[in-house]
Amino acid sequence: MATIASGHLDALRQAVHGRVLLPSDDGYDVARTVWNATVDRRPAVIVQCSGTTDVVHAVNFARDQGLVLAVRGGGHNIAGSAICQDGLVIDMSMLRAVSIEEPSRVAWVCAGATLADFDHEAQGSGMATPLGINSTTGVAGLTLGGGFGWLTRKYGMTVDNLLGAKVVTADGQRHWTSATDEPDLFWALRGGGGNFGVVTLFQFQLHDVGPQVHAGLIVFPAAQARAVLQQYRVFTETMPEDLNVWAVLRKAPPLPFLPASAHGTDVVVLAAFHLGEPAQVEADIAPMRAFGQAIGEHIGPVPYTAWQQAFDPLLGPGARNYWKSHNFSRLDDAAIDAMIDYALRLPSPLADIFLGHVGGVANRVSPTATAYHHRDARFVMNVHSRWERPDEDANCIAWARDFFRATQPYASGGVYVNFLTEDEAGRTSDAYGANYQRLAELKRRYDPHNLFRTNQNITPGA
């Protein structure tokens, strides 16, 4: 464990208004625990910040003391980058405020807010912005990596809706960034991960959404998976942008609309989300029912906030997780066959393979408009290897890696940076493609000594 002189710690405690936690303090173990249970690190000190000034003091302290620095928003990142070993953690979890400006259709979101926090406030005004699909995810990490979800086909990536951000850089300076204020830094923040500083406040564009939407599931047996996925592939090419449909291959959960005999069996699930009126919803989803003989369906009106939480039970904290991910610009039959093959050999009943459909507005943005580069990605495949016991680690990780290799020949070569695991540092450049060199140059400008490196790291350019 790193040794920090007591006098320096006393000065830090006096400087910040939030809590400074050491390993011997009450609350330390809770503060160091993150979503992925395979991550078990013990920082030397955790600073639970009460505002931007606390962040400035923490950044300066870590830099001046030569400590490894990590930044925690929601603590949901698969790689566990929110927590470091023997260093200092800037914990933003106390900063969860969300403020909505209805006339300007703008949201101000603090860096510790979760998707549930954001959606709760925005839906009070009948508005939303594109976010992820798990309500316990932190807004900050999701946004800094790009961000996509049910609204992406209609309104773009999360970063396409970011209007500005307040950020503390490695020198302890505060910056307001937007399209007109320090635009280079703003460009880098929109997809560049946590490489450029600590964002303490986000400004987002809002859109009219809900409060009621139409959403739900159609579940087919795995025996029909090939035909279902082939027809799904064709269907997504022309479906309206009010509609988004994702595909999941997994064991059937004990959902009330499924017969008990189907619980625990291999299935392919089409998760549909629609922003339109009921009559249009029915017309748009009707073709999916002909993809096969479904064993169950439940699609209807639902509060947007409820749909944003619908998958939370499958992605709760406390389990052990390992992910592998590919982007696809198209789905070849061989890729579909590999997905089905591995889905029939899941290493754990908690594991699954999902295809998130992007497309729409997100594909029409220039790949150089933001640091998030892969505007050709129509499907983002994520392999959720998920299990409960440490003695299952080797088998569950090996399955994910084998599947990743089996599908690699059919992928586009890109990857969503938020889905990279701790051992995939070699793929960081794949996440940024042609934008990597510009990001490296900006990294040298804003963080020349690589203080912010407990992430999918962009090395400062030469």
129: its two tokens: 């912005």
- Across residues 34-62, what is the average pLDDT? 97
In sequence order, the 6+-apart residues with CB closer than 8 A to the CB of 93 are: 31, 48, 72, 73, 74, 75, 112
Main-chain phi, psi angles of 383, to 5 degrees = -100, 110
pLDDT tens digits for range 407-443? 999 999 999 999 999 999 889 999 999 999 999 999 9
For residue 283, is pLDDT > 70? yes
- Across residues 3-30, what is the average pLDDT? 94
Q: Which domains does the chain have, with CATH numbers?
A: 10-91 (3.30.43.10), 98-209+435-446 (3.30.465.10), 212-419 (3.40.462.20)
The mean of the pLDDT values for the chain is 96
- Res. 394 pLDDT band, cuts 50 70 90: very high
Q: Which has more pLDDT, 205 or 5?
A: 205
Angle at CA 108, nearest 5°, toward 102 and 114? Answer: 115
Residue 3 burial (C-beta neighbours within 10 Å; 0-12, 13-18, 19+): exposed
Token pair 């809706």: residue: 161
pTM: 0.96
For residue 1, is pLDDT > 60? no
337: its two tokens: 């066959």
pLDDT tens digits for range 326-367? 999 999 999 999 999 999 999 999 999 999 999 999 999 999
pLDDT attached to residue 4: 86
For residue 206, is pLDDT > 70? yes
447: left (phi over 0), alpha (psi -120 to 50) or beta: beta
Q: Pairing state of beta strands 45-48 and 19-21?
A: antiparallel
pLDDT tens digits for range 57-106? 999 999 999 999 999 999 999 999 999 999 999 999 999 999 999 999 99
Instruction: Give the rounded percent of residues in the chain with a pLDDT score beyond 70.
Output: 100
pLDDT tens digits for range 135-185? 999 999 999 999 999 999 999 999 999 999 999 999 999 999 999 999 999
Which parts of 88-223 are beta strand (E)? Answer: 88-91, 98-101, 106-110, 127-128, 162-168, 174-178, 198-205, 207-208, 212-221
pLDDT attached to residue 396: 98
For residue 129, is pLDDT > 60? yes
SS3 content of the chain, % helix, strand, coil (to 5): 35, 25, 40
- Across residues 43-68, what is the average pLDDT? 97
pLDDT attached to residue 279: 87
16-53: b (≥16 Cβ within 10 Å) or e:
bebbbbeeeeeebeebbbbbbbbbebebbbbbbbeebb
